[in-house]
């Protein structure tokens, strides 16, 4: 009986970079890959090969099965899940929104990162991701763009982040390209759902809904896609920005008031903010103009609750125009999206 060394999922390594590529296909030097990530062990990067065959054509030796398959398109993708910490809070929104306003902290004060979406069809910012999946699979994935992010907060534990990347299918393919040494594991400051406060109310009159909010889930989708055209071969030319789609789900315990129903019936323009501060790190998500949709009553742990599910038809620009959502992160990191 033969044996072999199995490869444990929790022994894998993932390294991220706060830098953005300056050119398509750029492979980062080890020095630019600085954040050793405690990623979920079940999330992987992958290559997708699109094939064209003669399955639907004739003259196949009297058989229905194909006789050939040819490569016509290559792409890559990455599902990334982790607990939200100080570095990731800025990294994820930087590469999702593609735009950052950075203000350095003075003395011991944290730095401020303000993120708003670039809402055009411009090319997306790109970065590298390094994966060590097994002893024989150690790859640098370049041309990766973050297209969707979901954050969720509950009454205990870290805020959870789930991100989806799309890529042009560019990856180093052998162990010779492995990092010579991994960066040190960071001392992370996690952001906790139990430290988050959801405030809402008529615009300009927001008030905390603590302790009524049981959970929240915020979805940010930039709908990035690979731009392909004739002459590009099997790879796309670049990744372009798409429409901004926002969603927000709140589960709120009902009290003796009818505030949520009153706002819904009157279609009152509301502001909503989610603010989490853990240690010296903070995250604030601010929705400028929201109209409540149907409010669904239900039962959670034997109490009456209202579930609000807001989508792109409810999360609006402020009156006079502007950003429907802004995100502010305070941490000790330098600016993201800086070229290598």
Peptide bond into 135 cis (omega under 30): no
Residue 110's pLDDT band (cuts 50, 70, 90): very high
State whether residue 3 is helix, strand or coil.
coil
Report d(CA 312, CA 290) in Å as an integer: 10
pLDDT value for 295 = 81
Residue 39 has pLDDT above 90, yes or no: yes
- The structure's pTM equals 0.95
pLDDT value for 176 = 74
Residue 70 has pLDDT above 80, yes or no: yes
Residue 108 has pLDDT above 90, yes or no: no
Report d(CA 253, CA 6) in Å as an integer: 48
Q: Are 168 and 224 in contact (CB under 8 A)?
A: no
Report d(CA 220, CA 225) in Å as an integer: 15
Question: Taking the mean position of all CA atoms in its chain, how far away is CA 302?
Answer: 33
CA atoms within 13 A on the CB side of 222: 34
Residue 192 per-residue DSSP state:
B
pLDDT > 70 fraction of the chain, expressed in percent and rounded = 100
User: How many Cβ atoms sit within 10 Å of the Cβ of residue 142?
Assistant: 24
Residue 302 has pLDDT above 80, yes or no: yes
pLDDT, average across residues 239-260:
97
pLDDT value for 309 = 96
Residue 325's pLDDT band (cuts 50, 70, 90): very high
Residue 150 tokens read as 């979901």
The owner of tokens 């492979």 is 27
pLDDT value for 340 = 86
Mean per-residue pLDDT over the chain, rounded: 96
Alpha carbon separation from 102 to 89, 121, 248 (Å, rounded): 14, 23, 26
Strand partners, 112: 103, 330
Residue 173's pLDDT band (cuts 50, 70, 90): confident
Report d(CA 132, CA 12) in Å as an integer: 6
Residue 174 has pLDDT above 80, yes or no: no
Residue 99 has pLDDT above 80, yes or no: yes
Q: Are 251 and 214 in contact (CB under 8 A)?
A: yes
Alpha carbon separation from 320 to 66, 94, 118, 324 (Å, rounded): 58, 26, 18, 11
Backbone angles phi, psi at 87, to 5 degrees: -65, -50
């Amino acid at each position: 009986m033969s044996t072999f060394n199995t490869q444990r999922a929790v022994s894998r390594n993932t390294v991220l970079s706060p830098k953005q590529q300056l050119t398509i296909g750029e492979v980062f030097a080890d020095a630019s890959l600085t954040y050793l990530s405690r990623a979920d062990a079940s999330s992987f990067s992958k290559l997708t090969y699109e094939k064209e065959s003669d399955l639907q054509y004739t003259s196949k030796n009297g058989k229905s099965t194909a006789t050939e398959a040819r490569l016509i398109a290559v792409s890559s993708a990455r599902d990334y899940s982790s607990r939200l910490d100080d570095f990731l809070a800025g990294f994820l929104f930087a590469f999702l929104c593609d735009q950052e306003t950075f203000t350095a902290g003075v003395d011991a004060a944290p730095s401020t990162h303000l993120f708003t979406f670039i809402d055009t069809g411009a090319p997306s910012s790109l970065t590298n991701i390094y994966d060590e999946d097994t002893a024989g699979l150690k790859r640098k994935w370049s041309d990766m763009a973050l297209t969707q992010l979901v954050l969720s907060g509950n009454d205990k534990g870290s805020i959870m982040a789930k991100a989806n990347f799309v890529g042009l299918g560019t990856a180093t393919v052998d162990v010779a390209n492995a990092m010579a040494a991994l960066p040190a594991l960071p001392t992370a400051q996690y952001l906790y759902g139990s430290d988050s406060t959801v405030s809402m109310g008529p615009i300009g009159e927001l008030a905390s809904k603590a302790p009524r909010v049981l959970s929240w889930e915020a979805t940010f989708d930039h709908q990035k896609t690979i731009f392909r055209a004739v002459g590009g071969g099997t790879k796309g030319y670049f990744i372009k920005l798409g429409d901004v789609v926002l969603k927000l789900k709140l589960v709120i315990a009902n009290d003796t008031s009818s505030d949520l129903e009153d706002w819904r019936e009157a279609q009152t323009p509301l502001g909503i903010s989610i603010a989490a501060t853990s240690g010296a790190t903070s995250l604030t998500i601010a929705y400028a103009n929201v109209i409540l949709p149907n409010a669904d009553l239900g039962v959670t742990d034997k109490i009456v609750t209202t579930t609000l599910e807001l989508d792109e038809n409810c999360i609006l620009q402020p009156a006079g125009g502007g950003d429907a959502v802004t995100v502010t992160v305070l941490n000790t990191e330098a600016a993201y999206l800086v070229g290598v």
